[in-house]
């Protein structure tokens, strides 16, 4: 679904209009920890699943979700890199981890404890090693 949005902050302020991909998520997450399972075991068991849940943004994207969970990935992926999670916990599924570049005011709280994020293309792929590093650091 696409939505045309005008007069929003952009990385290149010379562009007055920006077409955003719109992604909307509702709350449906489930805890994945098994009875008696340690955090470390859960973390490693979910690693292959999480690796496949990273989505690198290829065009400006607006994400609307109940999740407040973001991760500053600048030290791993470069300046202003961010991960926006559609779940409030990396161990609760389903989730997507959107990776892109943020502006200073990329996050806005909406009514009913929902959030809106605007992120821009990272302009590169990320490796499994980088995904693992992000997952471990989140």
6-16: per-residue pLDDT in tens?
A: 333 334 433 34
- In this predicted structure, the answer to whether residue 104 has a pLDDT above a threshold of 80 is yes
Alpha helices by DSSP H, listed for the chain, are: 39-51, 74-77, 128-137
- In this predicted structure, the answer to whether residue 41 has a pLDDT above a threshold of 80 is yes
Distances (CA, A) of 124 to 50, 63, 115, 135: 19, 20, 26, 18
Containing domain of residue 74, as a range?
2-137
How many structural domains does the chain have? 1
SS3 37: coil
pLDDT at residue 31, rounded to an integer: 76
8 CB contacts (<8 Å, ≥6 apart)?
18, 20, 118
Lowest-confidence region among 14-23, 48-57, 127-136 = 14-23
pLDDT averaged over the chain? 86
Mean pLDDT for the stretch of residues 71-88: 96
DSSP 8-state assignment for residue 79 = T
The DSSP result for 99-129, as a single string, is EEEEEEEEEEEEGGGEEEEEEE---S---HH
């Amino acid at each position: 679904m696409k939505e045309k949005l005008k007069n929003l902050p952009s990385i290149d302020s010379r562009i007055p209009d920006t077409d955003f991909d719109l992604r909307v998520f509702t709350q449906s997450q489930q805890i994945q920890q098994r009875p008696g399972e340690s955090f470390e075991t859960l973390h490693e068991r979910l690693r292959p699943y999480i690796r496949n849940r990273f989505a690198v943004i290829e065009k400006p994207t607006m994400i609307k979700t109940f999740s407040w969970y973001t991760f500053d990935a600048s030290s791993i992926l470069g300046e202003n890199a961010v991960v926006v999670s559609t779940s409030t916990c990396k161990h609760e599924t389903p989730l997507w981890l959107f990776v892109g570049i943020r502006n200073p005011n990329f996050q806005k709280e909406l009514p009913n404890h929902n959030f809106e994020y605007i992120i821009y293309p990272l302009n590169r792929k990320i490796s499994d090693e980088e995904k693992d590093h992000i997952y471990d650091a989140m």
